[in-house]
Structure formats: C-alpha cells, structure tokens
Amino acid sequence: MLGSLETKKLSPRGRIDALAVLERHAAWFAARQVHLLADIAAHAEAAPTGESDVDTQLLNHGDYATEEVACALRISNSTATERLQIAKELAGRYAGTLGLLEGGEICYMQARNLANACRVLEPQAAARVESAMATRMPTQATGQSSRALRRQVIKADPEGYQRRLELRTKEREIVRYPQDDGMVTWGATVPAELGARFDQAVDAHATTLVVDNRTLSQRRVDALADLILNRPVLPTGSNLPANPKAPQGLSGHYSAAPTALVHVTVPLDVLIGASEDPAELKGYGPITATQARTLAFAEGTIWRRLITHPRTGLLIKTDPTTYRPTAETERHVVARDQQCAFPSCRMPAQRCDLDHVKKFDHDRPESGGQTVPENLIPVCRRHHLMKHRGNWTVTRDSVTGITTWVSPTGHVYLNTPRNYAE
C-alpha cells in the first residue's frame, strides 16, 4: 500500500502523515536488521561443530562475519563491527528498547545510543537506565533523549562515571581534522567543565573585538586566535607560578584566564554532598556531582537561587508584569528551558528571543499576556518569526511546562521542558 501512494495527490497534511508512517516502517526494518545481525553474530561466535557446510566454514569466526556484513551492506569493516556489536546488545540485553524500535516508537539512532551508553554499566544498572528511558525516548527527539540518557547513566553509577571521567581526563588532547578547500577543524578533547570555561572565555573576548561586517561566529574564531597567538611572551628564563584555578587532574603554568560566566544548575542536596545525582552544565548537559561542586566552590563563583516544584521538578517563580522581562525573569526562563521551545530546535536559550505565549496587551497589561515565566518561552529568531506570521499556533501548560505547537497542516507537536528532578 505504501508503494502505491501517489504523493503528488496527497494533501499537505496527508504528506506529513505518510512521512511519519514511512519513518515508523523504517524503524521496523531497522529492528528486523538488528535481529538478523544478532543471529549472524551468534552463529559466528559459536564453537565450530565440525560441519563442513559453506556457511559454517565462512562464518564461524567473528572477523569473517564482519567482512561478510560489510560487503553485503556496502559499509566499512569498522561500521560492520559496530552494527554487529549493537545488534548483540539490543537483542540480548535490551529487548524492551528493541521492541520500541520494532514498533516504530523510536528510531535506530536512539536504540544505538542506549546500547553504547550502557556498555560501561553493570547489568542491573543498565536495566535501570533502560527502564527510565523507555517512557522518554518515544516522546523525545534524538538529541533530547541523548541528553536524558547521559543523565540516567550518571545516576545509575555515579562513582563509575567519575572514575571514567578521571581516566578520560588523562587522555585530553588537541584534535584536528582536515576539511575541503584548505580548511581544518581544530579543537581539543577536554572535560566538559573546562570546555565550558573555554567557550565562555572566547565569547567574552569576542565582545571586545571591533564590530564590523564579521558574523558572531567569525568573531569568536578570531577571538580564539587572538587569545592563543597574541598572548604576552615572557622574557627568557621567566617562570609563571602554577595556576591555582587549574581544574582537578590538570596542571601547568599559564596566565590566568579572563573572567567567564559558566552556568551550572545543581540541586542543593548535591551541592552540600548529600547526593551524587547529576547536575546540568549549560551548553553541554549532565555532569557529575563532583564536577558541579568543583565549579560551584571555585574562587569568584556567584550563586543564584532557583526554586523547583517538588512534584514536577519544573522551575517556578513569579515576577512583575512589564513588557520587557527583568534580568532575573530572563535568567529564570533561560535556565528553565535551556533551548528554543520549538520541538526540533537545539538553539541555546541564551541566544533566543523571549516571546509571550499569550500576546501582551500594551494598553491594558493586567488583562493581556503577562510577562512572567509561565507565559514566556525562548524561541530562536526563525521560529519566533514563524510563530508571529500566524503559520503556527503555540500554547504552554503552566503546570507541566509542555509547549504545544500546531502546524499549518493541523499536526500537533509537543516540547517538554527540562525536569530538574530527573
């Protein structure tokens, strides 16, 4: 039936419906491939039986199975190896997740991410993570579920996560990848909290550069170059003292970094050491309690209190009703939603506009949409314009924080805000 669809004859709404159906079928096909790959892997790993049939001769070693799969699917050996490993884990340990994939409720990438993330966990901890994600993944975009997955892995084994972080910190390195047209991607693999400090330092320095026809992205790159290439050169024989602000596990002698604003949202019980639940590093996602405390108690740290609802875990607050949000209200909304409120958008909230869900009445502010967090959402410029052109309608549930978007074709899409209790 799907093959006989004449897409040109479908209505705009019908095309979206057909697209969603095809995606569900694609997930079903991916699940069937997982079952086949798991069977191939199991056969390859089975002890030789002495049989002389061709299949047994060729597929009784994992390497041969990898080669066969790589050729059949026209993929690299490394990709084939990963596909076989993921299939074994999904079929053997994560039947629930595989069932969601087979039912078209999640995509292959979500299932793959879960298997990869849980590989470092003991079976019981991995089962807790899968159970927690079973209700989240079907309602989340892949990026959202990846962030939730990292948080659940930390919660399931905080000590193990901290040990792995310490080991990975020793592997920090500069990375560079050649690009086309004479370009190169250059950066570093570092602990998340250090990366956040790098990012904020570059942003701070970019604001000091001359504003011309360069884009913000171009100024940020130029700021990074300036910080690296134009730093003061010490006279020969001079020594800098060790930087007392160096992150744990890192050492060296270098000049103090410029003041930078790093946002970390951490529950009080984690801050005082009564809990090892994850915190949230703005621009990255979940980090360990130890990382959060390191940042929280660093010299010069400024704390701002955020209050969450004990049942829903959502940020709650009241503010005066004025058209322009106060700085405190803006900080609250940005911390609450973290990203553009449009379901598929990942633009950081601090780069978005704050928009009234219910229109503000300039003549009678008391009767129009109030400038309070419950009536404000962060939306990037593209989705802000899209909303105000009347093509999409938006509502927000003040209790759950769920934002509902209705498209021109009548389809309904939900966006769930960050729950700090999870």
Q: What is the CA radius of gyration of the chain?
A: 26
Q: How far is CA 237 from CA 228, 230, 240, 243, 309, in A?
A: 21, 19, 10, 18, 58
The torsion defined by the Cα of 227, 230, 235 and 241, in degrees rounded to 10, comes to 0
pLDDT at 157: 92
The residue assigned the tokens 């697209």 is: 19
Contacts (Cβ under 8 Å, ≥6 apart) of 154: 161, 277, 278, 286, 287, 288
Task: Over range 17-35, report the average pLDDT.
Answer: 95
Which tops the pLDDT comparison, 267 or 109?
109
| pLDDT at residue 250 tops 50 | no
Q: What is the DSSP string of 53-82?
A: -HHHHHHSSHHHHHHHHHHHHT--HHHHHH
pTM over 0.85: no
What are all long-range contacts of 267-270, with beta carbons under 8 Å and residues at least 24 apart? 267/420
pLDDT at 295: 79
Task: Over range 225-237, report the average pLDDT.
Answer: 72
Provide the terminal-to-terminal Cα distance of the chain, rounded to the nearest Å.
Answer: 42
| pLDDT at residue 58 tops 60 | no
Task: Over range 262-269, report the average pLDDT.
Answer: 74
Each residue of 309-323: pLDDT tens digit? Answer: 666 666 665 444 455
Cβ atoms within 10 Å, residue 100 = 23
Each residue of 283-296: pLDDT tens digit? Answer: 677 888 888 888 77
Distance CA 165, CA 146 (A): 18
The residue assigned the tokens 């060790």 is: 242
Task: Over range 61-77, report the average pLDDT.
Answer: 77
Which tops the pLDDT comparison, 307 or 148?
148
Which tops the pLDDT comparison, 302 or 70?
70
The CB-side HSE value for 74 (13 A sphere, CA atoms) comes to 0
Distance CA 89, CA 78 (A): 17
Q: What is the DSSP string of 270-307?
A: HHTTS----EEETTTEEE-HHHHHHHHTSTT------E
Each residue of 180-225: pLDDT tens digit? Answer: 888 889 999 999 888 888 988 898 899 888 888 898 899 999 999 9
Cβ atoms within 10 Å, residue 166 = 13
Mean pLDDT in the chain? 82
Contacts (Cβ under 8 Å, ≥6 apart) of 80: 66, 67, 69, 70, 73
Q: Contact 153/118 with Cβ under 8 angstroms? A: yes
Which tops the pLDDT comparison, 51 or 97?
97
Q: Contact 398/289 with Cβ under 8 angstroms? A: no
Q: For 9, which DSSP code?
A: G
| pLDDT at residue 228 tops 80 | yes
Sorting pLDDT into bands at 50, 70 and 90, what band is 244? Answer: very low
Residue 328 — φ and ψ, nearest 5°?
-65, -40
Distance CA 370, CA 146 (A): 34
